[in-house]
């Protein structure tokens, strides 16, 4: 998805409703279709989400527009960037694949993206959990203190990379193996092998 696409706005607005956009940004609609406005300090829900593609309007601060405008205001970016963001978030195909081969390639790209997203979610969970355990170990100077000192920087580096460029981490066999090790390490974190060889938790 690159360059100017004259159909971008039309396709995005057709594919994603205002309600979907509101939900995507975690806004809770009440029965009247009102939610708390993210564009001013809103105590009572005063932003109305209109059905059937009629957009949104805040009765307090007067902000209004369509799906794309909402995202642009929310991220303080251009309408073009907002439309691209929505297209990516909702997996909207912007160009129809022409040949069988192109369709097949698009499908592979889509599957790859889903796999990377799942990997990112899973890895973040394990690595963050391990990072919390290491922080705790340093803070408490407990039996994992040395392990924590040795690993904390790498773990923070790994977390940053998973966040910034998950695709590259996903392709990096060493990093993937390391994340597998981390997962196992968390599982046996509280297992202690006693002097007589028995295992306790």
Work out whether 69 is an interface residue with Zn ion (CB under 5 A).
no
Q: Are 63 and 39 in contact (CB under 8 A)?
A: yes
Q: Which C-beta is closer to Zn ion: that of 39 or that of 50?
A: 39
Work out whether 59 is an interface residue with Zn ion (CB under 5 A).
no
Work out whether 74 is an interface residue with Zn ion (CB under 5 A).
no
Q: Which C-beta is closer to Zn ion: that of 39 or that of 189?
A: 39
Work out whether 37 is an interface residue with Zn ion (CB under 5 A).
yes
Work out whether 39 is an interface residue with Zn ion (CB under 5 A).
yes
Q: Are 42 and 31 in contact (CB under 8 A)?
A: no
Burial of 54 (0-12, 13-18, 19+ CB in 10 A): exposed
Work out whether 40 is an interface residue with Zn ion (CB under 5 A).
yes
Long-range interactions of 90-98: CB distance < 8 A, separation 24+? 90/12, 90/15, 90/16, 90/20, 90/24, 92/11, 92/12, 92/15, 92/16, 94/1, 94/5, 94/7, 94/8, 94/11, 95/5
Cβ neighbours around 117 below 10 Å, total: 13
* Contact code string over 166-195 relative to Zn ion, x by CB under 5 A: ------------------------------
CA distance 115 to 138: 34
Coil vs helix vs strand at 56: strand
Work out whether 27 is an interface residue with Zn ion (CB under 5 A).
no
**Residue of 12, 35, 58, 182 interacting with Zn ion (CB under 5 A):** 58
Work out whether 34 is an interface residue with Zn ion (CB under 5 A).
no
Q: Which structure tokens are listed for 169?
A: 């981490």
Q: Which C-beta is closer to Zn ion: that of 69 or that of 183?
A: 69
Which of these ranges, 38-46, 108-116, 152-160, 179-187, lies near Zn ion under the rule CB under 5 A?
Answer: 38-46
# of chain residues touching Zn ion (CB under 5 A): 6
Work out whether 61 is an interface residue with Zn ion (CB under 5 A).
yes
Residues at the interface with Zn ion (CB under 5 A): 37, 39-40, 58, 60-61
């Amino acid at each position: 998805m690159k360059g100017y696409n004259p159909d971008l706005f039309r396709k995005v607005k057709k594919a994603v409703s205002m309600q979907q956009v509101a939900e995507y940004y975690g806004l809770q609609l009440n029965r009247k279709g009102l939610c708390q406005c993210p564009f001013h300090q809103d105590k009572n829900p005063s932003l109305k989400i209109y059905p059937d593609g009629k957009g949104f309007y805040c009765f307090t601060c007067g902000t209004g527009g369509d799906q794309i405008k909402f995202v642009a205001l929310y991220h303080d970016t251009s309408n073009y960037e907002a439309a691209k963001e929505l297209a990516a978030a909702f997996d909207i195909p912007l160009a129809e694949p022409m040949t069988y081969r192109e369709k097949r390639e698009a499908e592979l790209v889509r599957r790859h993206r889903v796999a990377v997203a799942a990997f990112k979610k899973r890895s973040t969970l394990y690595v963050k959990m391990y990072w919390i355990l290491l922080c705790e170990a340093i803070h408490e100077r407990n039996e994992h203190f040395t392990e924590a000192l040795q690993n904390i920087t790498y773990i923070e580096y790994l977390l940053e990379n998973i966040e910034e460029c998950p695709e590259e981490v996903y392709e990096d066999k060493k990093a993937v193996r390391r994340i597998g090790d981390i997962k196992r390490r968390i599982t046996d974190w509280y297992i202690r092998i006693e002097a007589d060889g028995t295992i306790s938790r």
